[in-house]
Amino acid sequence: MFTGKYNFAEKTVEIKSIYPKTHEYCIGYVSDKPVDFVVEIDGEDITKEKEITREEYEFEKKPVPDYSEGVYEATAVYRKIAEKMPEFDSFVFHGSVIAVDGEGYLFTAKSGTGKSTHTRLWRDYFGERAVMVNDDKPILKVTDKGVIAYGTPYNGKHRLGSNISVSLKAICILERGEKNEIVRINKSDAYAMLLQQVYRPKDSLQMAKTLRLIDEMADSVRIYRLACNMDIEAAKVAYSAMKE
């Protein structure tokens, strides 16, 4: 059994795992603070994760990847953390968060649309002013002063992210387009995508809390829809609109 304590969105999680892979992932998030909750993995959790992965890839008609047991376990760990986070007014969200001058911008879209490509354009355009917070599964915390985006070690296949937190200034739903055009949209127009991209807990009480948090987030953060052609001008167009 491998054990370690790590910080996720200001909460210390003690992780007990069979394999060391999770602890390799989380090396930059080690915490010495009192434990808020414990996540422990067994063989059944790993088997369940394999089944979930197989169903997802078969649904998308893609070859099922040949991951190691350690990778499946690492995913199972984050799933258990995601199940717990609504208790702390937080949730895991599928998107790419980048900060410019310390302010966070979250990009989300259907799989394969180009979230990571778009935030790479921001890094190219802004240089050192831009910092990746998390390129895949950040944790968002809803507070009475707005939404905070946290980096996590689960930051995508290119491992782009930082152990930092930033105030979330805007959310942008990406779509492919021939021209770069951005418009502000209301909560009702964005809600289906927000619900699709949030981690949805199995526990009914946690799910109810998550729905409330999505509502509060959509009321406190401006939301946009961006049609973009992946030219670097897309970064300029998006930032100019969302910054204002």
pLDDT tens readout for residues 109-149: 887 777 888 999 999 999 999 999 999 999 999 999 999 99
101 and 187 together in one domain: yes
101 and 73 together in one domain: no
When divided into structural domains, the chain yields a total of: 2
pLDDT digits (tens, 9 = 90+) for 12-34: 999 999 999 999 999 999 999 99
83 and 94 together in one domain: no
Task: Give the end of a domain, one of 67, 88, 109.
Answer: 88
155 and 175 together in one domain: yes
Task: Give the end of a domain, one of 88, 103, 134.
Answer: 88
209 and 129 together in one domain: yes
> What per-residue confidence (pLDDT) applies to 29?
98
Question: How long is the chain?
Answer: 244
Over residues 63-79, the mean pLDDT reads: 95
The dihedral region occupied by 97, where left means phi > 0, alpha psi between -120 and 50, and beta the remainder, is beta
196 and 136 together in one domain: yes
Range of the domain at 12: 2-88
Q: Are 133 and 119 in contact (CB under 8 A)?
A: no
CATH number for the domain harbouring residue 233: 3.90.228.20
Looking up tokens 């052609």 gives: 229
12 and 96 together in one domain: no
98 and 74 together in one domain: no
SS3 117: helix
> What per-residue confidence (pLDDT) applies to 116?
86
Question: Does the pLDDT at position 59 exceed 90?
Answer: no
Q: What is the value of pTM for the model shown?
A: 0.95
> What per-residue confidence (pLDDT) applies to 117?
87
